[in-house]
Amino acid sequence: MKIVSVINYKGGVGKTSLTSNLGAELAWRGKKVLMLDLDPQTSLTFSFISPDVWEEKFSEDRTIKSWLESFDSPSPIDLASLIYTPERVETALRGRGKLDIISSHLGLINVDLELATKLGGGTIAQVKKNFINLHKTLKVGLSTIDSDAYDVVLIDCPPNFNIITKMAIIACDYILVPARPDFLSTMGIDYLIRNVNGLVKDYNDFANMAQGEKFDSIDPKVLGVVFTMIQEYGGGPMQAHAQFMNRVKGMTGISAFPSYIKRNDTLFADAPELGVPVVLNGYNSGSHQSVVDGLENVASDFRKYLGI
Ligand SMILES: Nc1ncnc2c1ncn2[C@@H]1O[C@H](COP(=O)(O)OP(=O)(O)OP(=O)(O)O)[C@@H](O)[C@H]1O
Ligand SMILES: [Mg+2]
């Protein structure tokens, strides 16, 4: 079971759309995929579960919020008990792979603030121990899920670098960075990777220095940048977009996928209401080729890099 965090500080770059459609494409090709929504905006959750059903069946005690609130209580919730198989997706997959989801909650934003209060401590040693114990929460939680149950876990992160996002980085094997081909979206990538490296270094330093308790060190790999919303001209990315792609390819220590997702405003305009990622709607209308142009190639590169 490979754990992949889908992350970019910048909002609206296509994190959630990539998570759901890549997940669905992989499932269509027979893979077992678990998606985890860590964003208080709950966009991924509401792409699969209607707000009414969510309110009635999930909001109270079946979201990542209730799990995070319970993890250090006397009766912690089992992370696996939050897993849900959206029926419409299951039908659309017609017996192929699996696409499950752990839902988010609009109140997750407050949980992030409450978690920050657990970071103090009387001594430096205690502060470091609290840092590790808090940040490895999700890593510990995911390790309780049967590793044969899924080939890959895709974590849809919020557009920030708060504690919950950091938990995802600590928990994952790989980091996938969706980006739009524009100045602001590419500008932050360098900074994001430096922050990820800084967090990993702090965690490992603290883990090595901890006395009395043994903590494993971590080594999440940056899988690469995937460009979303590329417009083509003459068979390749239009020149302005190619410029941003080359700029990222030129950044030291950062790789970019050779494949990319094409922009298609019509396709994505009404996607969330359908309850099924657009790529599956395409396959179900009889096409053997993904309706999300470029997704098949991105999924193929993704599988190659992960070895799944
Ligand atoms: N390939 C595409 N072509 C056209 N529109 C797209 C494409 N991919 C995503 N979109 C649209 O762009 C918008 C932002 O996408 P999405 O919500 O996936 O981004 P995000 O990075 O998850 O945003 P946030 O940071 O708010 O979580 C959405 O309206 C989505 O439908
Ligand atoms: Mg999103």
Q: Which domain holds residue 22?
A: 2-306
Q: How many domains does the chain have?
A: 1
Instruction: Give the pLDDT confidence score for residue 15 in this predicted structure.
Output: 98
Instruction: Give the pLDDT confidence score for residue 248 in this predicted structure.
Output: 92
User: CA separation (Å) from 296 to 5, 17, 44, 262, 281?
Assistant: 20, 14, 20, 11, 15
List of residues 6+ apart from 184 with CB closer than 8 A: 10
261 lines ligand 1 (CB under 6 A): yes
Instruction: Pick the closest to residue 248 from 1, 8, 4, 2 (CA basis).
Output: 8
Instruction: Give the pLDDT confidence score for residue 72 in this predicted structure.
Output: 86
CA of 243 to the centre of ligand 1 (A): 21
Residue nearest to ligand 1 atom 30, measured at CA? 268
160 lines ligand 1 (CB under 6 A): no
Average pLDDT of adjacent 10-residue blocks, the chain of 308 residues = 96 96 98 98 96 96 96 93 96 96 96 90 88 96 97 97 97 97 89 95 90 88 96 94 92 90 91 80 90 96 97
The 3-state secondary structure of the chain reads: CEEEEECCCCCCCCHHHHHHHHHHHHHHCCCEEEEEECCCCCHHHHHHCCHHHHHHHHCCCCCHHHHHHHCCCCCCCCHHHHCECCHHHHHHHCCCCEEEEECCCCCHHHHHHHHHHHHCCCCHHHHHHHHHHHHCHHHHHHHCCCCCCCCEEEEECCCCCCHHHHHHHHHCCEEEEEECCCHHHHHHHHHHHHHHHHHHHHHHHHHHHCCCCCCCCCCCEEEEEEECCECEECCEECHHHHHHHHHHHCCCCCCECCCCCECCHHHHHCCHHHCCCHHHHHHHCCCCCCCCCCHHHHHHHHHHHHCC
Predicted model pTM: 0.97
Q: Which two tokens stand for residue 43?
A: 């966009």
13 lines ligand 1 (CB under 6 A): yes
Which ligand sits closest to the CA of 298?
Answer: 1
Instruction: Give the pLDDT confidence score for residue 141 in this predicted structure.
Output: 97
Residue whose CB lies within 8 A of the most ligand 1 atoms, among 15, 17, 265, for a mutation test: 17
What CATH number corresponds to the domain at position 280? 3.40.50.300
Ligand 1 atom index nearest CA of 39: 27
14 lines ligand 1 (CB under 6 A): yes
Residue nearest to ligand 1 atom 11, measured at CA? 268
